[in-house]
Structure 1
Amino acid sequence: MPENFSLKETKPNIGGGRVSGGREKLTSSFDLVEVTHFLFVRVVKARDLACSNATVGGGVCHTFVEIKIGKYKGSTKYLEMNKRNPEWNQVFAFTKDRIQSLSVEITVREKEFVNDEFIGKIAIDMSDIPTRVPPDSPLAPQWYKLESEANSSVGELMMILWFGTQADEVFIDAWHSDVASVSGDSITNTRSKVYLSPRLWYLRINIIEAQDLVVPGDKNRNPEVYVKAALGNVKLRTRVSADKSLNPRWNEDLMFVAVEPFYDHLVLTVVDKNNEEEFSLGRCMVHLSEAYIRWLPEPVGAKWYNLEGGGDVVEELKFASKLNMRISLDGGYHVFDESIDCSSDYRATFKGLWPPAIGVLELGIIGASVLVPMKSRDGRETTDAYCVAKYGPKWVRTRTVVNSFSPKWNEQYTWEVYDPYTVLIIGIFDNCHLNGEKGPNPKDPSIGKLRIRLSTLSTNRVYTYSYPLIALQPSGVKKMGEIQLALRFTSPSYTSLLAAYARPLFPKMHYIHPLSVYQLDSLRQQAIGILCSRLSSAEPPLRTEVTGFMLDAGYQLWSPRKAKANTERLMDAVHVITEAWKWFDTIKKWNNPAANVLVIVLYLVVVFYPSLVLPTLLIYCFLIGIWQYRKRPRDPTHVDIKLSLADSTNADEWDEEFDTFPSSKQGEVLRMRYDRLRSMAGKVMVMVGDLATQGERLTALWSWQDPVASAIFLALCVMAAVVFCSGLVPPRCILVMVGMFVMRPPSFGIGIPCAPQNVFGRLPTKADCML
Structure 2
Amino acid sequence: MTISNLKLGVDVISAHNLLPKDGQGSSNPFVELCFDGQKYQSTIKEKDLNPVWNESFYFNISDPSILQSLNLDAYIYNNIKATQSKSFLGRVSISGTSFVPYSDAVVLHYPLEKRGIFSHVRGELGLKVYITDDPSIKSSTPVRDSVQSARHTFHTLPKRDNSEQPKHTPEASLPHHETKYVVNEMKAPEQIPPKLVHTHSGSSAQPVDFALKETSPFLGGGRVVGGRVIRTDKNSSGTYDLVEKMHFLFVRVVKARELPTMDVTGSLDPYVEVKIGNYKGVTKHIEKQQNPVWNVVFAFSKERMQASVLEVVVKDKDLVKDDYVGFVRFDLNEIPMRVPPDSPLAPEWYRLEDKKGQKIKGELMLAVWVGTQADEAFPDAWHSDAATHIDSSAASSALIRSKVYHAPRLWYVRVNVVEAQDLVPTENTRFPDAYVKAQIGNQVMRTKPVQARNFNPLWNEDLFFVAAEPFEDHLFLTVEDRVAPGKDEIIGRVIIPLSMVEKRADDRIIHSRWFNLEKPVIVDVDQLKKEKFSSKLHLRVCLDGGYHVLDESTHYSSDLRPTAKQLWKPPIGILELGILNAVGLHPMKTHDGKGTSDTYCVAKYGHKWVRSRTIVDNLFPKYNEQYTWEVFDPATVLTVGVFDNTQLGGEKGSNGTKDVKIGKVRIRISTLETGRVYTHSYPLLVLHPTGVKKMGELHLALRFSCTSLPNMLYLYSRPLLPKMHYVRPFTVMQLDMLRHQAVNIVATRLGRAEPPLRKEVVEYMSDVDSHLWSMRRSKANFFRLMSVFSGLFAIGKWFADICTWKNPITTVLVHLLYLMLVSFPELILPTIFLYMFLIGIWNFRYRPRYPPHMNTKLSQAEAIHPDELDEEFDTFPTSRNPDLVRMRYDRLRSVAGRIQTVVGDIATQGERVQSLLSWRDPRATAIFVTLCLVAALVLYVTPFQVIGALAGIYMMRHPRFRYRLPSVPVNFFRRLPARTDSML
TM superposition score normalised by structure 2: 0.75
Which residue number corresponds to residue 371 of structure 1? 585
> Which amino acid is the alignment partner of residue 767 of structure 1?
T
Which residue number corresponds to residue 675 of structure 1? 890
Which deviates more, 537-546 or 730-739?
Answer: 730-739
Give the alignment partner of residue 215 of structure 1, picking from 425, 428, 438.
425
Give the alignment partner of residue 972 of structure 2, picking from 759, 762, 766.
759
Q: Do structure 1's residue 51 and structure 2's residue 258 form an aligned pair?
A: no
CA contact 2:433–2:450 (8 Å) conserved in 1: yes
Which deviates more, 513-522 or 108-117?
Answer: 108-117
Secondary structure of 1:698's counterpart equals: helix
Q: Distance in 2 between matches of 1:317 and 1:445?
A: 52
Q: Distance in 1 between matches of 2:718 and 2:355?
A: 75
Q: Do structure 1's residue 716 and structure 2's residue 942 form an aligned pair?
A: no
Which deviates more, 283-292 or 590-599?
Answer: 283-292
> Which amino acid is the alignment partner of residue 381 of structure 2?
A
Q: Distance in 1 between matches of 2:271 and 2:230?
A: 47
- What's the offset of the Cα at 1:411? 0.2
Secondary structure of 1:525's counterpart equals: helix
Which residue number corresponds to residue 70 of structure 2? none
CA contact 1:186–1:435 (8 Å) conserved in 2: no
- What's the offset of the Cα at 1:25? 8.0
CA contact 2:250–2:368 (8 Å) conserved in 1: yes
Q: Distance in 1 between matches of 2:776 and 2:392?
A: 41
Q: Do structure 1's residue 393 and structure 2's residue 607 form an aligned pair?
A: yes
Q: Distance in 2 between matches of 1:9 and 1:321?
A: 70
Give the alignment partner of residue 797 of structure 2, picking from 575, 582, 591.
582
Q: Distance in 2 between matches of 1:323 and 1:492?
A: 52
Secondary structure of 2:734's counterpart equals: helix
Map of 1:566-577 to 2, 5 A cutoff?
566-577=781-792
> Which amino acid is the alignment partner of residue 481 of structure 1?
G
Which residue number corresponds to residue 518 of structure 2? 308
Which residue number corresponds to residue 456 of structure 2? 247
CA contact 2:519–2:532 (8 Å) conserved in 1: no
CA contact 2:750–2:757 (8 Å) conserved in 1: yes
CA contact 2:281–2:298 (8 Å) conserved in 1: yes
> Which amino acid is the alignment partner of residue 551 of structure 2?
D
Q: Do structure 1's residue 689 and structure 2's residue 904 form an aligned pair?
A: yes
Which residue number corresponds to residue 738 of structure 1? 951
CA contact 2:418–2:459 (8 Å) conserved in 1: yes
- What's the offset of the Cα at 1:93? 0.7
Give the alignment partner of residue 133 of structure 1, picking from 296, 318, 339.
339
CA deviations 1:643-684 (Å, max 9, x no partner) are: 001100021111111111111111422221111111111111
Q: Do structure 1's residue 328 and structure 2's residue 537 form an aligned pair?
A: no
1:120–1:184 CA distance, 2 compared to 1 (3 A): closer
Q: Do structure 1's residue 109 and structure 2's residue 315 form an aligned pair?
A: yes
1:438–1:7 CA distance, 2 compared to 1 (3 A): closer
Q: Distance in 2 between matches of 1:64 and 1:148?
A: 16
CA contact 1:334–1:347 (8 Å) conserved in 2: yes
CA contact 1:148–1:154 (8 Å) conserved in 2: no
Map of 1:577-656 to 2, 5 A cutoff?
577-656=792-871
Q: Structure 1 vs Structure 2: percent identity of aligned residues?
A: 54
CA contact 2:571–2:630 (8 Å) conserved in 1: yes
Q: Distance in 2 between matches of 1:3 and 1:316?
A: 71
1:319–1:17 CA distance, 2 compared to 1 (3 A): closer
Which residue number corresponds to residue 408 of structure 2? 198
Q: Distance in 1 between matches of 2:537 and 2:892?
A: 46
Q: Distance in 2 between matches of 1:438 and 1:679?
A: 43
Which residue number corresponds to residue 288 of structure 1? 498
- What's the offset of the Cα at 1:744? 1.2
CA contact 2:256–2:293 (8 Å) conserved in 1: yes
CA contact 2:317–2:323 (8 Å) conserved in 1: no
Q: Distance in 1 between matches of 2:242 and 2:408?
A: 29
1:310–1:153 CA distance, 2 compared to 1 (3 A): closer
1:22–1:557 CA distance, 2 compared to 1 (3 A): closer
CA deviations 1:126-181 (Å, max 9, x no partner) are: 11111011110011122222122452432222212111100000011111112144
Q: Distance in 1 between matches of 2:459 and 2:716?
A: 41
1:24–1:721 CA distance, 2 compared to 1 (3 A): farther
1:262–1:25 CA distance, 2 compared to 1 (3 A): farther
Q: Distance in 1 between matches of 2:488 and 2:569?
A: 49
CA deviations 1:539-580 (Å, max 9, x no partner) are: 110001111111112222221111111111111111122221
- What's the offset of the Cα at 1:441? 6.3
- What's the offset of the Cα at 1:525? 0.6
> Which amino acid is the alignment partner of residue 785 of structure 2?
L
1:591–1:324 CA distance, 2 compared to 1 (3 A): same
Aligned CA RMSD, in angstroms, stands at 2.1
Give the alignment partner of residue 5 of structure 1, picking from 193, 206, 210.
210
Question: What stretches of structure 1 of length at least 5 have no aligned partner?
Answer: none
Q: Distance in 2 between matches of 1:156 and 1:748?
A: 108
- Provide the aligned length of Structure 1 versus Structure 2: 762
Q: Distance in 1 between matches of 2:360 and 2:692?
A: 65
Secondary structure of 1:321's counterpart equals: strand
Which residue number corresponds to residue 162 of structure 1? 369
CA contact 2:517–2:533 (8 Å) conserved in 1: no
1:485–1:713 CA distance, 2 compared to 1 (3 A): same
> Which amino acid is the alignment partner of residue 929 of structure 2?
L
Q: Which has the higher helix share?
A: 1
Q: Distance in 2 between matches of 1:278 and 1:284?
A: 17
Q: Distance in 2 between matches of 1:2 and 1:199?
A: 42
Question: What stretches of structure 2 of length at least 5 have no aligned partner?
Answer: 1-205, 232-236, 523-528
- What's the offset of the Cα at 1:120? 1.7
Q: Do structure 1's residue 768 and structure 2's residue 981 form an aligned pair?
A: yes
- What's the offset of the Cα at 1:720? 2.9
Map of 1:337-352 to 2, 5 A cutoff?
337-352=551-566
Secondary structure of 1:51's counterpart equals: coil
Give the alignment partner of residue 413 of structure 1, picking from 627, 650, 657.
627
CA contact 1:208–1:251 (8 Å) conserved in 2: yes
TM superposition score normalised by structure 1: 0.95
Which deviates more, 282-291 or 233-242?
Answer: 282-291
Q: Distance in 1 between matches of 2:342 and 2:533?
A: 73
Q: Distance in 2 between matches of 1:148 and 1:317?
A: 75
Q: Distance in 2 between matches of 1:637 and 1:318?
A: 62
Q: Distance in 1 between matches of 2:467 and 2:860?
A: 38
Which residue number corresponds to residue 121 of structure 1? 327
Which residue number corresponds to residue 536 of structure 1? 751
